[in-house]
Structure formats: structure tokens, C-alpha cells
Amino acid sequence: MTDLLALADINATSDVVGGKGAALARLARAHLPVPNGFHVTTTAYHQFIVANDLTTHLTAALAQLDASRPMTFESVAQMVSDLFARAPLPPSLVQAIDDAYRALGHDVAVAVRSSATAEDLGERSFAGQYETFLNVRGTAAVHEAVKRCWASLWNARALRYRAQQRIAPRALAIAVLVQEMIPADVAGVLFTAHPVTGARDCVVINATWGLGDALVSGLVTPDTFVVEKASGRIIERDIVEKTRMRVCGEEGIVEQSVPLAQQRAPALDDARIVELTRLGVHIEQLAGMPMDVEWTLAHNRWAILQARPITTLG
């Protein structure tokens, strides 16, 4: 299996590109608005491990885990992070990543996202456990972000969760998505079923100004819209004051104040809400199940950043 795959490649299955990558590959093949990019496959991860003889070191580090001593999760995670940081990428992988990155555009900003093989499954929720790096520029920065995504497979939160779920470490691998960075004007999440009541006849949309990581991190409280699927009628709306947002800066992501005129204005108008609802319903129909969708709107164009099953409905 190759180290890299094009975003919509038919071979981009969950065992090769992880749950997140496989979901976005399916949407891209269905011609939904997924940002262009490529997968660094689980094969590349395994080759990195073998090339740097890391298996022995990983086994020794994991042997130090003790559920009765919570700090061992932190110390083991740090050991693994240091191991991965010191280990070089194989030269052939460096060349492949550099070629694929340059094909996206000269010094283009990208989002580098982890995609684990046990992620985004209907029966488990690994949301937010692994690393994402936004507004990354240059080949050296992409290399570093890829290795940090790999290392996040062994971060303290993921180690704790897998211990609780009794998931064997040998069953795991991780891929990485590298995609064009979308400098969102508005972003948020969409649920194709009500995440609290479980109602399947409506869509719930959360929306805020700027990048969606401000919402995911809890920095902001978003506007909320509840929309009837069949008619597109907005049946509930809650517009809140939005004073802070995160945007793409010259180096990385920066937090700034929302312009005064926008702070009490809805992040989406009614026409956009209807458009987004239709997009969400289409994604649900493709998946065959209720979905949790991360989306952005930039320069009047939608982009889908992630789509995973809603795991709280039962």
C-alpha cells in the first residue's frame, strides 16, 4: 500500500486512512465540498515506526502504564512524544509529502488532521482525542505536524480512554489528512438529528464567526438554529452575543474581537440555514445514519471538514 493517497481515492478506506479520512473521501467522491488535499496513510505511520525501531521503545513505555496511578498516563505520553519528535521521517516519505504539498499550491496554508483507525465509529466516540494543526505553511512545518499527529495516538487522554474501553494498542494505527486551510468567515457544527431529544425530523445547527475551533474549544457560545428537515422551516433560533473569534493569522491562528456590528447579528441568514440543512440531509442520506458534521462558510462557499456518526442517540 502506498504512503500517500489522493483525498478521494477509492482505496481510502478506514484501515488505510482512518475513520475521519475515509468519511471525507466518501464525501469527496460524491462531489460534496470537501477541501482539496491528500492522506498520509497508516502504511506511512508503520514505516516510520519500523525505520526508527520504535516498537521496542513503545512497548517499554506502555508497560509503565498503571491505571491506579493517573500520572503514568501523562509520563508515558510525554515519553512517546519525545521519541517521535527525535525520529526522522524516511527520505522517501519526505519526498512524497513534499511533492503532494507543493501540488496544492506554492506555500499554501493547510490543516493537518489526525485520523485514527478506531476513530469516528458508530459505537465509540474518539472525538477531539487526537491532534489537529491549523494554518500550517511550508514543507518543514508539515513534516513536524504529521509526526505530532502520529504521536497524539499515544497522548494521555487517548491512553486513558482506550484503557477504559479495553482497546488493545496493537489494534491501532493512525493516518493524517493534509488539506487546504479554509479561512472561514463562519463555521460550526450541524447535527442531522437532535443531539439532546433524539428527534430525527430536524437538523440542529451551531454557528459562530471565524474558525470552528473556537466553538469546539469552548471559547465561544454559538448561535443555534433548529430546522425542520422536510420543509426547511426554521422552528427555533437562539442568537447570542459573540464577542471573540479565531482567525488565520500570518503565523498560525489568532484570537481577536468580533466587530461590534456582528456581535449580536446572526452568524447565518435564513437562506444560508436552508442551504446548510439540505447539505446536512444529503450527507445523512449518503451515510445512512444521523451525522455530526463540521462545516465552514468562506467567501460564500461551503466546505465540509468532518462528518461522523452521532454516538449519543442509542
Please provide the average confidence, as pLDDT, over all residues in the chain.
Answer: 92
Q: In this predicted model, which residue has the larger pLDDT, 211 or 120?
A: 211
Is the same domain home to 24 and 128?
A: yes
- According to DSSP, residue 145 is labeled H
Where do the H-state alpha helices sit in the chain?
A: 14-29, 42-51, 55-62, 71-86, 91-104, 139-151, 156-165, 213-216, 260-263, 270-287
Is the same domain home to 136 and 22?
A: yes
Strand-by-strand arrangement of the 110-116 sheet: 4-6, 37-40, 174-180, 110-116, 132-136
The torsion of the CA quartet 293, 297, 303, 305, rounded to 10 degrees, works out to -50
Question: Looking at residue 313, what is its pLDDT?
Answer: 78
Q: Which of 18, 182, 17, 194 is nearest to 104 (CA)?
A: 182
- CATH number, position 62: 3.30.1490.20
pLDDT tier, 214 (very low <50, low <70, confident <90, very high otherwise)? confident
Q: Is the pLDDT of residue 84 over 90?
A: yes
Is the same domain home to 132 and 275?
A: no
Whole-angstrom Cα distance, residue 83 to residue 133?
Answer: 19
Does residue 240 lie within any of the structural domains?
yes
Q: Is the pLDDT of residue 127 over 60?
A: no
Cell (9 digits) for 121:
465509529
Is the same domain home to 161 and 96?
A: yes
> Of 163, 180, 197, which marks where a domain is finished?
180
Is the same domain home to 121 and 200?
A: no
Is the same domain home to 161 and 210?
A: no
> Of 180, 209, 227, which marks where a domain is finished?
180
Percent of the chain scored above 70 by pLDDT? 95
Q: Domain containing 116: what range?
A: 4-180
Does residue 118 lie within any of the structural domains?
yes
Q: Is the pLDDT of residue 202 over 80?
A: yes
Is the same domain home to 64 and 120?
A: yes
pLDDT tier, 161 (very low <50, low <70, confident <90, very high otherwise)? confident
Question: Looking at residue 118, what is its pLDDT?
Answer: 67
Q: Is the pLDDT of residue 178 over 90?
A: yes
State how many domains the chain has. Answer: 2
Does residue 314 lie within any of the structural domains?
no
* Coil, strand or helix at 116: strand
> Of 151, 180, 209, which marks where a domain is finished?
180
Is the same domain home to 226 and 251?
A: yes
